[in-house]
Structure 1
Amino acid sequence: MSSTGVLSAGVVAACVSFFLSILIVLTQKLHGRLSLDVDLSGAQKFHKTPVPRIGGMALSIALLAALLYQALDYPKPPSEGGTGKILLLLLAGVPAFITGLIEDITKRTSVKSRLAATFASALLASWLVDASLPRVDVSAIDYVFATLPFVAVAFTAFAVAGVANSINIIDGFHGLAATTVVIILGGLGMLSWSAGDYFVLKIIAVGIGATLGFFLINFPTGRLFMGDGGAYLLGFWVAEVAVLLIVRNPSINAWQVLAICSYPIIEVLYSMYRKKVIRKMSPGLPDRLHLHMLIYRRLVWRFIPRNDSKPWVRNAAVSCVTAVWIGGMTVIAVIFGSDAPALVVLANVAIYITVYTRLVRGRWRLNPVLALGIRPDSAVKEAR
């Protein structure tokens, strides 16, 4: 497929996503009883008025429409890596999306059931499109994968489910999840383009297009949320792109791919560590100590004045801050990741923990023993 075909796929996805997002907003009086997020007091709620949280419907239909358009323009059977194979990938994502959408409508789906659905989607992708990691560029683990293929499949499913969940976790402010997805897919797109893998590049293009179309309605005023359905679907899409890049391109180092995807992964892993080890609470319970929440409370509230006529300004500012950071990390991973990928990953982890500790404790703490909460820092009271 030519670069023109890839671009057209992205444009179709963007247009469909944009117009469907507008339609959802304009018709919210008809479906608001089911779709509106009316919980304004939750630990992870930062919006002021009820907002439809079914943006995932626009995202999923946009992906489907763009792929059907491409299937008609560039007919090629799934066995030959055509658009039909990407449609199978989208089909694999249905359990994750539907379970998230049910949560958006009923608000009664358990965390375990949603994680199980994303795990099931990953297993389906392994079966339908051979999206199972053959290697992680650690010799001992690669040997196990080669010897026991079911271990590779299970590891891949766990990783995909983790990434999907990580996008849902960071979906807390206007544009935050969308900008993160676009930046990560953009970085992976650079690797795909340099490797000449236009099949994966098309998957990336429709993902970026659908996300940007939604983003124009979500940011900055927050008139529509992607919801759990949209977050799990996009997280699944990002994770499968990462897996397929490694599967199809032996020249691409798995650690470089990890470095590009590092922000949401670090967020969810550190959140689990922080809750379980430091705060002695269940990792599944929500709190207000995620990095993006600390940026909102420690930076945005301090430097951006309150504006009652535009209450969304502070909310949207969080995405502007994180986009610069994530964009910088991604550029570094793309440029230097092929030479020292593990070092880039470790640098991302170190920077994250250092900045997080500064925000939560109110001062710089470069001692890793204090930063990781191994020994309490009695001099500083943590933000609550």
Structure 2
Amino acid sequence: MDARILLLSLIAAFLIAVLLGPLFIPLLRRLKFGQSIREEGPQGHRKKAGTPTMGGTIILLALTLSVWKFANPTWELKMVLLVCLGFGAVGFVDDFIKVVMKRNLGLTAKQKLFGQLLVAFVFFLMLQKAGYSSTVYVPGTDWGIDLGWGYLPFLLFLAVGTANAVNLTDGLDGLLAGSSAVAFGAYAVIASAYSMADVAVFCAATVGAVLGFLVFNAHPAKVFMGDTGSLALGGALAAVAVLTKTELLLALIGGLFVIEALSVIIQVISFKARGKRVFRMSPIHHHFELGGWSEWRVVVTFWLVSVLFAGAGLYLEVFAG
């Protein structure tokens, strides 16, 4: 496809996000949509209390407007937008309960899970209508296995698991914005290589939107994306992997998100089984913070890790063959 369209969609989304920031951030502050900081979190994060959250609305508006301008309304585009905005809606309700109703935990775990599963199930029905294959391929090969109806639980696990792994990564200023830009950038290349123009435009627009948001989210953050942004990005990433038939490759391209999620799982299992913690604090980015690393050092290091994972995934899927 025309690389100029991808570049234009990226630039447009970036500029829209940069323009929306100065409008939305004061509004969120006036509405007292401030972030509540968990008591069990790092002590140094207490000073972030009150920073406007729900900034994910900036990302969603920017990428949606850019996609509307530069992409065609294909069935694939409708599917990925449904998942992105659907997961974003679940996150928005969660954030709203936290900041407006002053209930720090937001939706209950069951409520949040139900909302995510519902969106993922609708996505599955749309895939069925489009005649998408239920075959899952081994990265870098032509070998795959048809899961049949087993693809439904696989898809639900992939979508919900990815969304929550990405959500866990959103714990430091700019960490998720930068790492998600890398992952979606990799998928823009993959979708383009597979002639999936509108999916590629979506990915490029998402890169531009999160980079525009990063202007305000880099340390010290003036706004947080909240679950509105993190769940939307995670759900969209899973949807793009499904549409490009690279479901298993997502574990490599999104390797940083996998590590973040595994660190929480390992911590919980270790504490329940042995009464001991493996990490100073989980997710693992807090482990390095409590080890004396500055927040900016942790973020930049993790960005580089995400680049290495995405680069390995691109090499395996696009360039090695």
TMscore range, shorter length = 0.7 to 0.9
Task: Quote how far apart the aligned CAs of 1:262 are.
Answer: 2.0
User: d(CA) in 2 for partners of 1:55 and 1:196?
Assistant: 32
User: d(CA) in 2 for partners of 1:45 and 1:268?
Assistant: 22
2:145 counterpart letter in structure 1: D
Cross-structure match for 1:142? 145
Query: Are the counterparts in 1 of residues 159 and 238 from structure 2 also a CA contact under 8 Å?
Result: yes
Cross-structure match for 2:52? 52
1:78 counterpart letter in structure 2: T
Cross-structure match for 1:260? 253
Q: 1:120 to 1:2 in 2, by over 3 A?
A: same
Cross-structure match for 2:91? 97
User: d(CA) in 2 for partners of 1:333 and 1:45?
Assistant: 36
1:127 to 125, 128, 136: 125
CA offsets 1:243-275 (integer angstroms, 9 cap, x no match): 1111xxxxxx54433211222123213422331
User: d(CA) in 2 for partners of 1:87 and 1:227?
Assistant: 19
Query: Are the counterparts in 2 of residues 17 and 59 from structure 1 also a CA contact under 8 Å?
Result: yes
CA offsets 1:227-249 (integer angstroms, 9 cap, x no match): 11111111111111111111xxx
CA offsets 1:64-116 (integer angstroms, 9 cap, x no match): 2223323xxx6x5535x5x5555445454454333333344333321232222
Alignment of 1:334-373 (within 5 A): 334-336=314-316
Q: 1:96 to 1:135 in 2, by over 3 A?
A: farther
Give unpaired runs (5+ residues) of structure 2: none
Alignment of 1:19-98 (within 5 A): 19-32=19-32, 35-39=33-37, 41-43=39-41, 46-47=44-45, 48-49=47-48, 50-70=50-70, 76-79=72-75, 81=76, 86-98=80-92
Alignment of 1:1-384 (within 5 A): 2-32=2-32, 35-39=33-37, 41-43=39-41, 46-47=44-45, 48-49=47-48, 50-70=50-70, 76-79=72-75, 81=76, 86-105=80-99, 106=101, 107=104, 108-128=106-126, 134-137=134-137, 142-143=145-146, 145-146=147-148, 149=149, 151-246=150-245, 254-276=247-269, 278-280=270-272, 288-300=281-293, 314-336=294-316
SS at match of 1:268: helix
Task: Quote how far apart the aligned CAs of 1:297 are.
Answer: 2.0
| TM-score normalised by length of structure 2 | 0.82
User: d(CA) in 2 for partners of 1:159 and 1:337?
Assistant: 19
Query: Are the counterparts in 2 of residues 17 and 213 from structure 1 also a CA contact under 8 Å?
Result: yes
Q: Which has the higher contact order (CA 8 A, sep 6+)?
A: 2
Task: Quote how far apart the aligned CAs of 1:13 are.
Answer: 1.8
4+ residue runs over 6 A deviation? 138-141, 338-341
1:96 counterpart letter in structure 2: V
User: d(CA) in 1 for partners of 2:126 and 2:19?
Assistant: 31
User: d(CA) in 2 for partners of 1:258 and 1:166?
Assistant: 11
Which structure would you say has the larger Rg? Answer: 1
User: d(CA) in 2 for partners of 1:212 and 1:89?
Assistant: 21
User: d(CA) in 2 for partners of 1:158 and 1:272?
Assistant: 15
| TM-score normalised by length of structure 1 | 0.70
Query: Are the counterparts in 2 of residues 40 and 46 from structure 1 also a CA contact under 8 Å?
Result: no
Query: Are the counterparts in 2 of residues 100 and 230 from structure 1 also a CA contact under 8 Å?
Result: no
SS at match of 1:7: helix
2:91 counterpart letter in structure 1: F
Query: Are the counterparts in 2 of residues 92 and 125 from structure 1 also a CA contact under 8 Å?
Result: no
CA RMSD of aligned residues (A): 3.1
User: d(CA) in 2 for partners of 1:119 and 1:101?
Assistant: 18
Give unpaired runs (5+ residues) of structure 1: 247-252, 301-313, 342-384
SS at match of 1:52: coil
Task: Quote how far apart the aligned CAs of 1:216 are.
Answer: 0.8
**Comparing 222-231 with 87-96, which one deviates more in the overlay?**
87-96
Query: Are the counterparts in 2 of residues 166 and 267 from structure 1 also a CA contact under 8 Å?
Result: yes
1:109 counterpart letter in structure 2: L
User: d(CA) in 2 for partners of 1:113 and 1:234?
Assistant: 19
SS at match of 1:51: coil
User: d(CA) in 2 for partners of 1:256 and 1:216?
Assistant: 30
Query: Are the counterparts in 2 of residues 133 and 243 from structure 1 also a CA contact under 8 Å?
Result: no
Task: Quote how far apart the aligned CAs of 1:320 are.
Answer: 0.7
Q: 1:87 to 1:274 in 2, by over 3 A?
A: closer
